Structure 1
């Protein structure tokens, strides 16, 4: 389970680091992209918590 935790945490970090830089890209498209990526990160966190609860 530790390897799955590690991979999911890496995915969460990668998604969050890929958020658009507001000084380089702004507007509705950037906001929509950022919101979608944050939602994906939250879903991955929820999945990680579920996986950890099954392992307990």
Structure 2
């Protein structure tokens, strides 16, 4: 994972996470208010995934 960016439903960037070490897994947690968020996950290969998150 190269970077994870979390957005709220209005498109506002909430947090950008860039791991200190190369990893295929993500174990950190974030404390957000209840709601719907979107995660943009960028891999080192250049692939980008977008996931909907319900908290």
Smaller-chain TM-score bracket: under 0.3
- Structure having the larger proportion of residues in strand: 2
Highest Rg: 1 or 2?
1
- Structure having the larger proportion of residues in helix: 1
Relative to the length of structure 1, the TM-score reads 0.24
Relative to the length of structure 2, the TM-score reads 0.25
